């Protein structure tokens, strides 16, 4: 539900709220807008004309008649702007350009090294964005917002990277402040696991669902999506399930300094270490996937046990949070059957029957694309808040 209350007398904010309402309704008519907002029909007509002139709105044919002339259906002009999206990983990036309604117009994957630091990676990213715009006949002026994910903790409100374990040089970097030098638009940044959850939620239309997205790769993390929003917690630290303690016979020291953390036992890097100690050629999560897919019994056994350990932690979280859906992603999720079987066995055995009555546990629908889809969603949400719409409508007015 949208409010037409405003704390300012800025007419642009009202225009922004009107556009946000039209986006929410997908298509609508002047008469419906008057009814929905309680504003006078003449006021609505005047503002709609202003937005049509600015090419923010566009007519979408005629709606059903209620007696007289058939009313014009109004919708957001898909050409009114675009959003840019980036999923930055440890060694890989995926960039996209999409319409304001979230339709992807271009998408590329490429190799990066996040450890080169923000002074190398962020200028590189801005160059790639500029290229992408150019190749697709768009100008930087068309960009309405940027959505982004990074492989580390982020203070969501400010887009600041906070003590990231695998992003040397990034601690304290306020990403929007850097990108704003080239793109003066809202920049929304979140942790990669959170945007993966957001991508699955919105791209699959999981409305009314309560989703946990669990990424099992080099590390283990979780994105919590309820009512279409990521739950960030008090310090932006929510979802860090990699350091929950699990029960084992022999203590294992985790990189965090504690003993027997889930990540030190069931992540891709933990499994690679265990395989290497048994004389197998395994350096990272991808090697674990390769050995398992080649049918190596030791690797398969380890993956199955890892699934059970992850299941042990998820069973507690199911009792606590009662999600309707757990989605598994990340490099090891490629090993569906064994990992999923281990997780399901323990969750259904350990969690309370009432809390698993309608629970679905499955692998990601979009695989390595979930994150860039989530970054796109983040971008469209950023572009389509009333305050941000009012900013670009104001700029359009000034320049037209």
Q: How many residues bind a second copy (CB under 8 A)?
A: 56
Q: Which is nearer to a second copy, 40 or 276 (CB)?
A: 40
Half-sphere exposure of 302 (CA within 13 A, CB side): 29
Residue 385 CB, nearest distance to a second copy (Å)? 12
Selected binder of a second copy within 78, 119, 352, 367 (CB under 8 A): 352
Residue 400 CB, nearest distance to a second copy (Å)? 26
Selected binder of a second copy within 162, 180, 286, 345 (CB under 8 A): 162
Q: Which residues contact 357 (CB under 8 A, 6 or more apart)?
A: none
Selected binder of a second copy within 244, 271, 371, 389 (CB under 8 A): 244
Contact 77, 383 (CB under 8 A): no
Selected binder of a second copy within 65, 139, 247, 399 (CB under 8 A): 247
Query: Residue 288 and residue 237: Cα distance in Å, rounded?
Result: 28
Closest CA to 377 of 191, 210, 188: 188
Q: Which of residues 298-327 bind a second copy (CB under 8 A)?
A: 312-313, 315-317, 319-324
Q: Which is nearer to a second copy, 105 or 240 (CB)?
A: 240
Selected binder of a second copy within 108, 231, 290, 298 (CB under 8 A): 231
Query: Residue 162 and residue 171: Cα distance in Å, rounded?
Result: 5
Query: Residue 128 and residue 131: Cα distance in Å, rounded?
Result: 5
Q: Which is nearer to a second copy, 104 or 355 (CB)?
A: 355
| Other Cβ atoms closer than 10 A to 60 | 15
**Residue 281 DSSP class:** -
Q: Does 226 bind a second copy (CB under 8 A)?
A: yes
Q: Which of residues 17-46 bind a second copy (CB under 8 A)?
A: 35-40
3-state DSSP assignment of residue 130 = helix
Q: Which is nearer to a second copy, 36 or 120 (CB)?
A: 36
Q: Which of residues 97-136 bind a second copy (CB under 8 A)?
A: none
Residue 318 CB, nearest distance to a second copy (Å)? 9
Alpha-carbon distances of 120 from 95, 116, 117, rounded to whole Å: 17, 6, 6
Which stretch of DSSP H or E encloses residue 337?
A: helix 336-350
| Other Cβ atoms closer than 10 A to 172 | 12
Residue 279 CB, nearest distance to a second copy (Å)? 31
Q: Does 295 bind a second copy (CB under 8 A)?
A: no
Q: Which residues contact 373 (CB under 8 A, 6 or more apart)?
A: 96, 104, 199, 200, 202, 203, 366
Selected binder of a second copy within 355, 363, 365, 387 (CB under 8 A): 355
Q: Footprint of a second copy on this chain (CB under 8 A)?
A: 1-6, 14, 35-40, 153, 162-163, 209-210, 222, 224, 226, 231-241, 243-245, 247, 256, 258, 312-313, 315-317, 319-324, 350, 352, 354-355, 357-359
């Amino acid at each position: 539900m949208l409010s037409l209350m405003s704390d300012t007398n800025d007419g642009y904010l009202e225009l922004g709220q009107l556009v946000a309402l039209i986006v929410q309704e997908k298509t609508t008519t002047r008469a419906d807008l008057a009814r929905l907002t309680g504003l006078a029909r003449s006021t609505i007509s005047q503002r709609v004309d202003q937005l049509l002139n600015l090419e923010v709105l566009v007519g979408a044919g005629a709606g059903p008649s209620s007696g007289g002339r058939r009313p014009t259906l109004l919708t957001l002009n898909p050409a009114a702007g675009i959003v840019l999206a980036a999923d930055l990983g440890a060694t890989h990036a995926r960039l996209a350009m999409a319409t304001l309604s979230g339709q992807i117009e271009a998408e590329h994957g490429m190799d990066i090294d996040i450890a080169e630091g923000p002074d190398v990676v962020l200028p590189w990213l801005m160059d790639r964005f500029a290229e992408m715009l150019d190749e697709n006949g768009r100008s930087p002026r068309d960009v309405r917002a940027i959505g982004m994910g990074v492989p580390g903790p982020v203070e969501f409100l400010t887009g600041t990277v906070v003590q990231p374990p695998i992003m040397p040089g990034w601690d304290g970097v306020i990403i929007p402040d850097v990108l704003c030098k080239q793109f003066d638009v809202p920049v929304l940044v979140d942790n990669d696991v959170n945007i993966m959850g957001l991508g699955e939620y919105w791209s699959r239309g999981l409305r009314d669902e309560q989703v946990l997205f669990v990424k099992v790769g080099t590390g283990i993390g979780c994105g919590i999506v309820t009512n279409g929003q990521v739950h960030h917690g008090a310090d932006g630290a929510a979802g860090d399930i990699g350091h929950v303690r699990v029960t084992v016979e022999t203590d294992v020291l985790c990189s965090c300094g504690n003993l027997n953390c889930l990540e030190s036992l069931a992540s891709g890097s933990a499994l690679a270490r265990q395989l290497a100690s048994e004389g197998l050629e395994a350096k990272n999560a991808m090697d674990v996937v390769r050995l398992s897919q080649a049918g190596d019994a030791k690797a398969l056994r380890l993956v199955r046990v890892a699934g059970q350990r992850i299941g042990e932690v998820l069973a507690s979280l199911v009792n606590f949070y009662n999600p309707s859906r757990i989605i598994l992603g990340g490099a090891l999720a490629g090993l569906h059957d064994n990992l999923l079987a281990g997780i399901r066995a323990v969750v259904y055995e350990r969690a309370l029957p009432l809390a698993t009555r309608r629970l679905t546990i499955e692998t990601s629908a979009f695989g390595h694309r979930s994150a860039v889809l989530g970054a796109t969603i983040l971008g469209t949400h950023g572009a389509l808040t009333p305050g941000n719409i009012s900013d670009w409508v104001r700029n359009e007015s000034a320049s037209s």
